[in-house]
C-alpha cells in the first residue's frame, strides 16, 4: 500500500491561529483541496465564524482565512492509510510535517486549533517534544468537522469553533 501525502500549508507571516487536521481524506486528496468532502463541516463552520461564503471558490475561501490570520495545515506529511478514516492510519508509517519551518515563517502563531482528536493526539505524540517552541502556544482540541463525527451536533461544533477562532 502506498503512502498518502498532505498539502503545503496555507499560512503566511501574519498568521495568528493555526488549524491542524490529521491527514486529508480521499475526496480532499482527489480535489487537491483541504476539506473537500461535501459533508465535511469545515467550510460551513469557518465561513459562519469568519463571515465568508462557504460555497465561494476554494482560492477565495483560503484567501479569507489568511486575511483573518488563520493558517491551515495537517500534522502528518505522509502516512499509509487504506481508507479516509483516521483510525486506519498505520502509526509506523507516520511522517510529520516540518513545524520548525512553519513557525519560522509564521512567527505570530499564538494558538493551535486541532480539528479532532487524531490531530491533537498525533501532534502531542510526534511533534510537541520535537518542537520546543510549541510549549508557549495555546493549544485547543476542537470537535472534528468530519462527517464521521456525527455524534456531536452541528450547533455544538459551531459554538466550539466560534469560541476558539474568536
What is the structure's pLDDT at 165?
93
pLDDT band at 89 (very low <50, low <70, confident <90, very high): confident
> According to the model, what pLDDT value does residue 147 have?
85
Q: Where are the beta strands (DSSP E) in 22-88?
A: 70-74, 76-80
Whose grid coordinates read 476554494? 58
Tell me the sheet residues that pair with 140.
113
Q: How far apart are CA 24 and CA 133, in angstroms?
A: 25
Per-residue pLDDT tens for 18-61? 999 999 999 999 999 999 999 999 999 999 999 999 999 999 99
- pLDDT over 90 for what percent of the chain? 73
Q: Looking at residue 2, what is its pLDDT?
A: 79
**Beta strands 3-5 and 76-80, pairing class:** antiparallel
Nine-digit cell at 114?
486541532
Classify 95 in phi/psi space as left (phi over 0), alpha (psi -120 to 50) or beta.
Answer: beta
pLDDT digits (tens, 9 = 90+) for 119-144: 999 999 988 877 766 778 999 999 99
All structural domains of the chain: 3-165 (3.40.470.10)
pLDDT of residue 73: 98
Amino acid at each position: 500500500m502506498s503512502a498518502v501525502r498532505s498539502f503545503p500549508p496555507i499560512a503566511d507571516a501574519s498568521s495568528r491561529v493555526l488549524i491542524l487536521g490529521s491527514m486529508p481524506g480521499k475526496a480532499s486528496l482527489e480535489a487537491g483541496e483541504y476539506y473537500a468532502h461535501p459533508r465535511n463541516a469545515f467550510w460551513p463552520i469557518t465561513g459562519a465564524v469568519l463571515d465568508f461564503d462557504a460555497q465561494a471558490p476554494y482560492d477565495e475561501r483560503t484567501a479569507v482565512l489568511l486575511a483573518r490570520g488563520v493558517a491551515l495545515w495537517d500534522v502528518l506529511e505522509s502516512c499509509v492509510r487504506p481508507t479516509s478514516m483516521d483510525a486506519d492510519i498505520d502509526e509506523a508509517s507516520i511522517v510529520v510535517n516540518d513545524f520548525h519551518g512553519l513557525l519560522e515563517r509564521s512567527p505570530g502563531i499564538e494558538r493551535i486549533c486541532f480539528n479532532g482528536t487524531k490531530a491533537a493526539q498525533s501532534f502531542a505524540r510526534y511533534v510537541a517534544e520535537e518542537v520546543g517552541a510549541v510549549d508557549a502556544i495555546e493549544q485547543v482540541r476542537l470537535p472534528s468537522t468530519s462527517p464521521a463525527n456525527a455524534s456531536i451536533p452541528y450547533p455544538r461544533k459551531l459554538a466550539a469553533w466560534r469560541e476558539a477562532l474568536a
